[in-house]
């Protein structure tokens, strides 16, 4: 939630090194994405609708989908609509009980982050974020290797949080942020948790999330935080490509009769 296509910049070249067409999409209500016209009726399902419309506009019927955090849940929702050949979820959101203690704690964290980002921008964030201590203070919950982000990248991340209408509306109307089960997902799924995640730390939520996708593969990425793409782009790209290429090889393998 609150990030944009820029978060994928560290891994795009790695993922697209072969013949694949690799695209990073920005969600509705996020900086650079489609506008939200009615905040009172806004819900996360509308973001899923918007991504599906983007796929339609690009002429893409099905794709290998990769999503981080909220994007993992969105990818599964799209898979339940038949739009995915496969899904890789990186530190995905969902699984906790709506209105429960973890849900309330998470809402508090996002509220603090949203207003802290707005305060930083009001205080000329581009100057403050030149200071390593300030970058670590604001970004430590998102990434493990804060020093991988320079002042420009940190300013972009702060601006994305402060300017995220979707986040602002969801904080104003909490029930619209409920992440319910995605429905039946028939394609292959890999769930990659981040060992250094400081945001999605609900063990019950993790177990419930895996119950949403019975049969999904599961792994843990070491040395990365909630947004692993900047922490270790090589590890993230290798994880995604190994999964997708293995599935492709299985599909291309000749069927042997007994």
pLDDT 10s digits, 106-155: 999 999 999 999 998 888 877 888 888 888 888 888 999 988 888 888 88
pLDDT for the residue 255? 54
Whether the predicted pLDDT of 214 surpasses 60: yes
CA distance 32 to 54: 13
Is the distance from CB of 226 to CB of 142 less than 8 angstroms?
A: yes
Which percentage of the chain shows pLDDT scores above 70?
Answer: 97
Is the distance from CB of 68 to CB of 94 less than 8 angstroms?
A: no
Q: Token pair for residue 168?
A: 């602002």
Using 50, 70 and 90 to split pLDDT, how confident is the model at 256?
low
Whether the predicted pLDDT of 258 surpasses 60: no
CATH number of 5-73+96-229+239-249: 3.40.50.1820
Instruction: Work out the average pLDDT over 149-164.
Output: 90
Whether the predicted pLDDT of 257 surpasses 70: no
pLDDT for the residue 70? 95
CA distance 229 to 144: 11
Every domain of the chain and the residues it spans = 5-73+96-229+239-249
Return all residues near 24 (Cβ < 8 A) that are at least 6 apart: 5, 7, 8, 9, 12
Of 161 and 17, which is predicted with more confidence?
161
Predicted confidence (pLDDT) per residue in 172-195, tens digit: 887 767 899 999 999 999 999 999
Is the distance from CB of 65 to CB of 86 less than 8 angstroms?
A: yes
Instruction: Work out the average pLDDT over 33-43.
Output: 83
């Amino acid at each position: 939630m609150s990030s944009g296509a820029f978060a994928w910049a560290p891994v795009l070249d790695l993922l697209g090194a072969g013949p694949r067409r690799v695209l990073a999409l920005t969600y509705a209500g996020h900086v650079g994405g489609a506008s939200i016209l009615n905040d009172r009726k806004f819900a996360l399902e509308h973001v899923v609708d918007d991504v599906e419309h983007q796929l339609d506009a690009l002429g893409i019927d099905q794709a290998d989908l990769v999503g981080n955090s909220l994007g993992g849940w969105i990818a599964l929702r799209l898979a339940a609509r038949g739009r995915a050949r496969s899904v890789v979820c990186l530190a995905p959101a969902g699984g906790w009980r709506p209105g429960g203690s973890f849900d309330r704690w998470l809402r508090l964290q996002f509220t603090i982050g949203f207003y802290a980002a707005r305060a930083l921008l009001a205080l000329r964030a581009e100057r403050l974020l030149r200071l390593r201590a300030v970058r670590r203070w604001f970004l430590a919950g998102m990434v493990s290797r804060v020093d991988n982000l320079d002042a420009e990248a940190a300013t972009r991340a702060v601006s994305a949080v402060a300017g995220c209408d979707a986040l602002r509306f969801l904080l104003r109307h909490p029930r619209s942020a409920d992440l319910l089960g995605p429905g039946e997902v028939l394609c292959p799924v890999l769930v990659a948790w981040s060992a250094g995640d400081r945001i999605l730390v609900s063990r019950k939520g993790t177990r419930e999330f895996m119950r949403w996708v019975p049969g999904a593969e599961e792994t843990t990425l070491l040395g990365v935080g909630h947004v692993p793409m900047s922490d270790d782009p090589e590890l993230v790209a290798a994880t995604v490509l190994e999964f997708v290429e293995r599935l492709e090889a299985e599909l291309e393998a000749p069927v042997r009769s007994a």
